[in-house]
């Protein structure tokens, strides 16, 4: 895994890396709940440089991608991006990504390691297409700034109208001779922006942003807070809430599916479900006001009938309750449905099904 040149700087800021943390981002700097409260009321910055990056270029790169991914790469305009998936012929997910179109190449942002899966998948079907597929994970580092004060800070710092951006729009900006991709994106349920730059410039950029963002309340936060906020925002994570057994409609990833673009690998299965059928499982939320945090993998019951399982769970200080993401049978997915969570051999917790997201302040 790529290591950030910011590790020591994170430690200087009080960043704590717990044993077994393979990420380059600290688990926390302060108490994670305090970090969340601060981000949801002001602004925060997190190092996302452990994420996978892939660049694809060449004469036929758009033709290749158009036949392999679930969203439209040809009609996508330069300066914009979208959510896309790579599927098997059976419509199961292989990779989840955000795609950004540049004049001569496409840039893909994935969960750590998925860039390798995506590259191998594309190379397998590249055939005679003239396309260069490069793992660019080590070429870039990037950060995420979010919170209700983030737009004002970005507009003031970079002299642009970020409030006019739609999600996945980007601008290329320059600071101290560094080229930076500024992308509007939702990672926490708060308005947020990714900043992606070449690795060599990342350290100075992080320091500079923290210094200049002091007036806007910009503070660093860790992966513990990031994970809780993405659960609050109802954002599923590949490898945790979805994997190669998941059909994207089960996970509610409608924004990643284009039903007008024509054929792509796995398209027939997705189209058949959309127009003629339905899926049996749906990603949804659970909540309770008791003091017990659910365990990942816990089974969900209606009476003595097993109807689902939990994939992500956390205590939300913002909401004052335990919440979870889960897959549940379609007959029981309606908001307000009472269910039971198995917590022991003969022990169950009460919970309520709720729609996602729990929190959405992104605009």
pLDDT tens across the length of the chain (363 residues): 444 567 788 888 899 998 877 777 899 999 999 999 999 999 999 999 889 999 999 999 999 999 999 999 999 999 999 999 999 999 999 999 999 999 999 999 999 999 999 999 999 999 999 999 999 998 988 899 999 999 999 999 999 999 899 999 999 998 877 889 999 999 999 999 999 998 665 667 888 888 888 888 999 999 999 999 999 999 999 999 999 999 999 999 999 999 999 999 999 999 999 888 789 999 999 998 777 778 999 999 999 999 999 999 999 999 999 999 999 999 999 999 999 999 877 788 899 999 999 999 999
Does the domain formed by 280-354 have CATH 2.40.128.20? Answer: no
Q: What residues does each domain of the chain span?
A: 1-276, 280-354
Strand-pairing partners, residue 46, are 144
Q: What is the CATH number of domain 1-276?
A: 3.30.1360.120
pTM > 0.75: yes or no: yes
Strand-pairing partners, residue 290, are none
Q: Determine the distance from the C-alpha atom of residue 334 to the mean position of all C-alpha atoms in its chain, rounded to a whole number.
A: 25
Distances (CA, A) of 199 to 154, 170, 204: 21, 19, 10
């Amino acid at each position: 895994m790529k290591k950030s040149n910011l590790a020591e700087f994170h430690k200087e800021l009080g960043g704590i890396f717990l044993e077994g943390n393979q990420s380059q981002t600290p688990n926390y700097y302060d108490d994670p709940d305090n970090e969340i409260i601060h981000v949801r009321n002001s602004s925060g910055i997190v190092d996302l440089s452990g994420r996978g990056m892939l660049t694809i270029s060449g004469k036929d790169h758009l033709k290749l991608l158009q036949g392999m991914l679930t969203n439209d790469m040809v009609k996508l305009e330069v300066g914009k991006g979208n959510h896309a998936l790579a599927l098997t012929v059976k419509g199961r997910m292989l990779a989840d990504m955000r795609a950004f179109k540049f004049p001569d190449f496409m840039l893909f942002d994935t969960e750590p390691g998925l860039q390798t899966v995506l590259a191998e998948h594309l190379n397998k079907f590249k055939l005679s297409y003239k396309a260069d597929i490069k793992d660019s994970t080590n070429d870039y580092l990037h950060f995420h700034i979010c919170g209700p004060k983030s737009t004002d800070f970005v507009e003031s710092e970079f002299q642009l109208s970020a409030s006019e951006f739609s999600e996945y729009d980007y601008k290329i900006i320059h600071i101290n001779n560094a080229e930076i991709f500024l992308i509007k994106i939702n990672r926490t349920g708060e308005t947020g922006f990714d900043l992606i730059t070449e690795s060599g410039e990342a350290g100075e950029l992080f320091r500079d942003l923290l210094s200049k963002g002091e007036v806007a309340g910009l503070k660093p936060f860790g992966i513990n807070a990031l994970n809780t906020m993405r659960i609050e925002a109802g954002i599923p994570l590949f490898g945790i809430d979805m994997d190669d057994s998941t059909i994207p409609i089960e996970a509610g990833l409608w924004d990643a599916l284009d039903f007008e673009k024509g054929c792509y690998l796995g398209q027939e299965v997705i189209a058949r479900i959309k127009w003629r059928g339905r899926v049996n499982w749906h990603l949804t939320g659970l909540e309770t006001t008791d003091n017990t945090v659910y365990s990942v993998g816990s089974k969900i019951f209606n009476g003595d009938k097993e109807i689902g399982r939990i994939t992500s769970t956390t205590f939300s200080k913002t909401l004052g309750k335990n919440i979870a993401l889960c897959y549940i049978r379609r007959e029981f997915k309606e908001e307000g449905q009472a269910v039971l969570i198995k917590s022991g051999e003969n022990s169950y917790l009460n919970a309520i099904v709720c729609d996602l997201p729990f929190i959405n302040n992104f605009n």
